[in-house]
Amino acid sequence: MTTVVLFVLLFVCMILGMPVAIALGLSSVVTILFFSNDSLASIALKLMEAVSVHYTLLAIPFFILSSAFLSTGGVARRLIRFAIAVVGHIRGGFAMASVLACMLFAAVSGSSPATVAAIGSIAIVGMVKSGYPQSFAAGVICNAGTLGILIPPSIVMLVYAAATEVSAARMFMAGFIPGIMLGCMLMLAIYVAAVIKKLPAQEWAGFREVFASGFSASGGILLIVIVLGSIYGGVASPTEAAAISAVYAYGVAVMGYRDIGPLKGVPWRQADESAIRQVSRNLLQMAWAVPRSVTDAEVRRVVMDGAKVSIMLLFIIANAMLFAHVLTTERIPHAIAAVITGWGLPAWGFLIVVNILLLIAGNFMEPSAILLIMAPILFPIAVQLGIDPIHLGIIMVVNMEIGMITPPVGLNLFVTAGITGQTILWVIKAAFPWLTVLLVFLVIITYVPDISLFLPEYIDRLKGYK
């Protein structure tokens, strides 16, 4: 009875148009008050625990702030220039370069909508000017932007790690090879489409441009090495690496590229002492978590935007964890696990059920909320069937990728529509042909676990040798 009430309340709230976070929290509170033996104090305790106890979740605001600085600091423009220099001379090369730029930006942002916004705002216009149909350009960017949550560091992976208490570092390792593989699959599909449609190729820029653009983009590329190298090398935890990335992104955007902030457009040799002092003052004020006191208007706006996104996401996570708490206390996952195992499904049959459930949920809910609701239910069943928790996590993340480009709640669709000025229906039609690549990739990832598990197991063996 409690299970029925909980899920009926959730779906009724969502049908009425209530925000997902409020729907999760309200359905949980009503269930605890009227249909559960749990205490009222557990509501406050669980909400506080969601945002204060889970150390892994502290990485989310830092990665969001890092992404905000890199999105406005000219990093995307330099990454696109580098990608065009590398692959632009191939037929369909501009589109391939856009995918490569998405892969690089994904490795410094951890967010799918941020990747679409940063790369798409430059690449879509550039592709159209180079002779690509706008629908082709929009579809490529909308799908390639999903790499933002698959290539580490990924905010969605951090949420899964917090929900299941698996290692966030191992999740990051597991997403590296699948992320590169999906990017290569999209590039291959672009090449085939470009040959059929006879799309243009850029002139070979030469090795000098490759090295020059690579040096120009090195500020962003180096962040990949710092974050992933520190995590994989055991130097820092994901949360510590996220904090480092936020400070580094500020330094790159404000002091390195100088696209925003007090030194905007000013060569270092012409920078006066007061501007340099203001840069340091801004950094100290951000460290003390007082964004309204940041003296520079542009930097303050970026910090405030990052804070708003962080608060929104953490509010969703807190309410989703309260919902998961109700599931756990009422032993709903155990009951569902008993039913599914009673069906006698083999592991491959269970994974089909998982993909169907997640693909449906991805149409209506935000990825973090889906993971926090579904992971506690699916995790124990997967373990019982011998499915590796890390492998399950990558399967869930790939499903969340597909959810980012499926209506009615696909965030990438709305971001792409805002960039192109077209309707959501137009963007859906543009993105749909490329969705087949992601679906094929999902099948491969689901039934070839070695793709996800090779790197974390290999690194574990290396550590064992030491």
pLDDT digits (tens, 9 = 90+) for 153-174: 888 898 898 888 888 889 999 9
Contacts 24+ apart (CB under 8 A), 381-386: 381/336, 381/337, 381/340, 381/341, 381/350, 382/350, 382/354, 384/337, 384/341, 385/341, 385/345, 385/346, 385/347, 385/350, 386/347
Percent of the chain whose predicted confidence (pLDDT) is above 70? 88
Characterise 167 by phi-psi region: left (phi > 0), alpha (psi -120 to 50), beta (else): beta
Which DSSP state fits 57? Answer: G
Instruction: Tell me which of 3-12, 73-82, 331-340 is least confident.
Output: 331-340
**Burial (CB count <10 Å: 0-12, 13-18, 19+), residue 171:** buried
Among residues 110, 79, 80, the alpha carbon closest in space to that of 95 is found at 80
pLDDT over 60 at 291, yes or no: no
Residue 466: the pLDDT is: 46
Q: What is the span of the domain harbouring residue 170?
A: 19-25+42-465
pLDDT over 80 at 464, yes or no: no
Neighbouring residues of 127: CB distance < 8 A, sequence distance ≥ 6 = 94, 95, 98, 136, 137, 140
For residue 337, what are the CA distances in angstroms to 150, 363, 396, 429? 27, 24, 18, 38
Is residue 35 assigned to a domain?
no
Among residues 239, 70, 100, 102, the alpha carbon closest in space to that of 169 is found at 239
Mean pLDDT, range 295-299, rounded to an integer? 69
pLDDT bracket for residue 41 (50, 70, 90):
confident
Is residue 315 assigned to a domain?
yes
Instruction: Tell me if 113 sits within 8 A of 220, measured CB to CB.
Output: no
pLDDT bracket for residue 293 (50, 70, 90):
very low
Tens of pLDDT, residues 75-95: 888 888 899 898 888 888 899
Mean pLDDT, range 169-183, rounded to an integer? 93
| Distance separating alpha carbons of residues 378 and 385, to the nearest angstrom | 11
For residue 316, what are the CA distances in angstroms to 321, 362, 365? 9, 15, 11
Is residue 272 assigned to a domain?
yes
Residue 184: the pLDDT is: 94
Instruction: Tell me which of 73-77, 97-101, 155-159, 434-438 is least confident.
Output: 73-77
Is residue 152 assigned to a domain?
yes
- In our burial notation (b when 16+ CB lie closer than 10 A, e otherwise), range 135-170 reads bbbbbbbbbbbbbbbbbbbbbbbbbbbbbbebbbbb
Is residue 181 assigned to a domain?
yes
Domains contained in the chain, number: 1
- C-alpha triplet 122, 125, 130: angle, nearest 5°: 120
Q: Tokens at residue 250, please?
A: 């500020």
Is residue 366 assigned to a domain?
yes
Neighbouring residues of 439: CB distance < 8 A, sequence distance ≥ 6 = 402
Residue 396: the pLDDT is: 95
Q: Tokens at residue 462, please?
A: 């290396």
Is residue 10 assigned to a domain?
no
Other CB atoms within a 10 A radius of the CB of residue 71 amount to 25
Is residue 450 assigned to a domain?
yes
Tens of pLDDT, residues 230-289: 887 778 888 888 888 888 888 888 777 777 766 665 565 555 556 556 666 666 655 555
Per the model's pLDDT, the better-predicted residue between 296 and 424 turns out to be: 424
